[in-house]
Amino acid sequence: MKKLISKQLFVAKAFLDLVALFVLFTSPLAAQEVSVLESEAMTIIAKRCLSCHNAEMKPADLVLTTRETAVKGGKSGPALSPKHPEESLMVRKIFADEMPPGNPLTKEEREAVRGWIDAGAPWSMTLAKASAVRPRAGLNWWSLQPLRTVSVPSPAGIPPDWSASPVDRFVYAQLKEKGLKPSPPADRRTYIRRATFDLLGLPPTPEEVESFLQDKSENACEKLIDRLLASPYYGERWGRHWLDVIRFGESHGYEQNHLRERAWPFRDYIIRSFNLDKPFSRLVLEQLAGDQIAPNDPEIEVATGFLVAGVHDTVPIANLEGQLQQRANDLDDMVLTTGAAFLGLTVNCARCHDHKFDPILQADYYRVQAAFAGVHHEERELATQAERDQRHSRERPILDELDRVKERLAKLKKQVMPLVEKGRDEIAKHYRPAVDSKVNEEIFSPASARLVRMTILATYDQGPGKGAEMATHLGRE
């Protein structure tokens, strides 16, 4: 058991590392540079070489879709010697402006290819023609860059009463750049209405409007916003948006759309988290690994409801392939939501092939998926160990009593059953046997007759057979 848990912990950690890798917070610079070099080289080859050096056309027998074919080379031998750009035929052809014919690479592109080969020519994917596929974004894609501190602009001519908030400074700089003037400030009545709708999802009451209009203090707006942020409705309003982002549902959402009667503690956890102003990084951690970081704290353990809050197929499937497919779909749902909600990336596209647009390999998908291998759809008790022990000691005497009653019942049954059997046989003698759906035999004393009439008085479904009659000739007329 201990081993299992530590393995899960390890997997959860591995996953978090992977998340960190995606956002490039912790990956070592060297590895990061190498992947940037790779993605640049891949883009150049896909765009500038593969319209000719693909598997169908292969001029001079050279195919540049994989590292192996490039190393193997064409008519003149190897085209790529990793770590040795000067020996690579590719580089010589490129620098001699021979390739691509009549359409040489730019200086930057040439240097990029040279630098990439110098770094060992990492090449982890099969390339496709750029005309057929948009090249994938590299790890140098803007949204994958580490967070940096930027300087807040202070454009000339900024009005003295303009907000001091850095966000508003950026807004002003953009307005100025586009030659636009800021809108005039909203009047008080509009302001409180907008703010209340925005933060609570409801209009202000007439009394709230009135008291805001009367408030002549300098920080009236700040006080209003503080009051709204402190309202418990704030968590309900904004928690709902988050529940949408992470596809939370209170039913399984598949063919048998059964209600999830006990999904609400997770919903309440989200509302609570918003009202507590929990840092986002903490919210992410708790949802992915709450049971690992706080196994004895139900308030946090409940957060992992995130993993199983999506569509779940509950229809039992008899064959193994179907069951494996169902399981793969469950895990896919976890990968999908984790990627989309926390990374803003459709990681799940790489379930069947390397991502066509983002720098995610199919191998990455299964690395992420492996982090969830221990997660199954089940209900778990939300209680601390002490609460569990307490409940067990409360229930113990009741369960013991139940056992004693069951034992007595079994003894009584043993005494009574022979009498019941006997009575049943006795009663049966007085009745005709019950009707059987296959064979019914009835014996009566012989009588001479020309015809026998059978009258069906009722059928099980009260259908048209009711009251039908059949006559059977028994002998010659």
Which residues make up the interface to ligand HEC (CB under 6 A)?
48-49, 51-53, 59-60, 62, 73-76, 79, 89-90, 93-94, 99-101, 105, 128, 133, 346, 349, 351-353, 356
> 88 or 196, CB closer to ligand HEC?
88
Cβ neighbours, 10 Å, residue 265: 15
> 92 or 278, CB closer to ligand HEC?
92
> 133 or 449, CB closer to ligand HEC?
133
CA angle 3, 4, 10 (to 5 degrees): 90
Query: At closest approach, how far in Å is the CB of 143 from ligand HEC?
Result: 16
Query: At closest approach, how far in Å is the CB of 128 from ligand HEC?
Result: 5
CA angle 223, 228, 233 (to 5 degrees): 165
**Rounded Cα gap, residues 303 and 310, in angstroms:** 14
Please give the span between the terminal C-alpha atoms of the chain, in angstroms, as a whole number. 87
> 185 or 322, CB closer to ligand HEC?
322
> 67 or 240, CB closer to ligand HEC?
67
Residues 6+ apart with CB under 8 A from 18: 364, 367, 368, 371
Query: At closest approach, how far in Å is the CB of 153 from ligand HEC?
Result: 36
Query: At closest approach, how far in Å is the CB of 332 from ligand HEC?
Result: 8
> 75 or 178, CB closer to ligand HEC?
75
> 35 or 65, CB closer to ligand HEC?
65
Query: At closest approach, how far in Å is the CB of 46 from ligand HEC?
Result: 10
> 133 or 259, CB closer to ligand HEC?
133
Nearest to 304 by CA among 385, 235, 377: 377
Query: At closest approach, how far in Å is the CB of 350 from ligand HEC?
Result: 8
**381-387, Cβ contacts within 8 angstroms, sequence gap of 24 or more:** 382/265, 382/298, 382/301, 382/302, 383/298, 384/296, 384/297, 384/298, 385/296
**Rounded Cα gap, residues 400 and 47, in angstroms:** 76
Query: Residue written as tokens 């990029």?
Result: 112
Query: At closest approach, how far in Å is the CB of 101 from ligand HEC?
Result: 5
What sign does the CA torsion over 285, 291, 293, 298 have?
positive
> 119 or 128, CB closer to ligand HEC?
128
**Rounded Cα gap, residues 202 and 10, in angstroms:** 45
Query: At closest approach, how far in Å is the CB of 339 from ligand HEC?
Result: 10
Nearest to 129 by CA among 70, 61, 68, 64: 64
**Rounded Cα gap, residues 276 and 326, in angstroms:** 37
Query: At closest approach, how far in Å is the CB of 133 from ligand HEC?
Result: 5
Nearest to 176 by CA among 161, 156, 162, 151: 156
Half-sphere exposure of 131 (CA within 13 A, CB side): 7
